[in-house]
Amino acid sequence: MHKLYILIISIVFFSCNNTKKSTKTSKQEIAPKENIIVKDNDVDNFIPDGYEVVFSGNESNKIKADLNTDGILDYVILIANGNKKEKYSNATSVKLAIFEGQKDGSFILKNETGNLTYSFIYTNPDVRVKVTDTNIISIKHQSMRHDYELKFRYQNSYEDYMLIGAEYNNYGNAAHVGAGNTSTNFIFGKRTSTIDGNKTSNLDKLLTPISEVNDDNIYDLISN
């Protein structure tokens, strides 16, 4: 009976310890995205009713590039349920979606962000989405008191698009108190900041997938 009691206590303790979950997502924990397959001419047909491809000035935020470096062109598209006339300030749902090109000419929806409506408050940047020569996808937000830029890239070790860097600029108050920059490199786990003094901090190197970046956590991810 005594041995049975010890065994039960051990099982309960082991189970409780296993209920703790990391706030980050590892490669093994990333759930596969349900495949949505479209032809090149039909990519726009994926966009649900009430949404549209976001424009910055006269430029569409729909970019074709080899994002995963497999030799086949892909698409990154920014969509919103607001409208261009309102400069998307009335948007309640915003997504950055990535379609990977296939050998047969079709495209598969690989992944997308969570809701990013904070990217549409107050100011319409001249360029919202861009892709660099090194296949870094960036999306920019600008408001009255700050701006930020998120940087995503396909990481082979995760087989997904991950948040690899960010720039956050706080303009401070009218007297510029609190003004400064916070720059983050998530791959190297380093953050430097000039807000309230110069400082450098080390971060967890476990990257965050694009699907987990949203309004609820964006400022915790890039500015704390």
Give domain status of residue 203, yes or no. yes
Whole-model pTM: value is 0.79
d(CA 69, CA 134) in angstroms, rounded, equals 10
Give domain status of residue 102, yes or no. yes
Residues 6+ apart with CB under 8 A from 193: 180, 181, 182, 183, 199, 200, 201
Give domain status of residue 122, yes or no. yes
Full domain range(s) for residue 136: 30-223
Number of domains into which the chain is organized: 1
Q: Which of 164, 167, 166 is CA-nearest to residue 181?
A: 167
Give domain status of residue 19, yes or no. no
Give domain status of residue 25, yes or no. no
d(CA 22, CA 36) in angstroms, rounded, equals 29
Give domain status of residue 93, yes or no. yes
What average pLDDT values come out for the chain (224 residues) when binned by 10 residues? 40 39 39 54 69 84 95 93 75 90 88 83 69 94 86 97 96 85 97 94 95 94 87
Give domain status of residue 78, yes or no. yes
Q: Which of 114, 119, 113, 115 is CA-nearest to residue 143?
A: 119
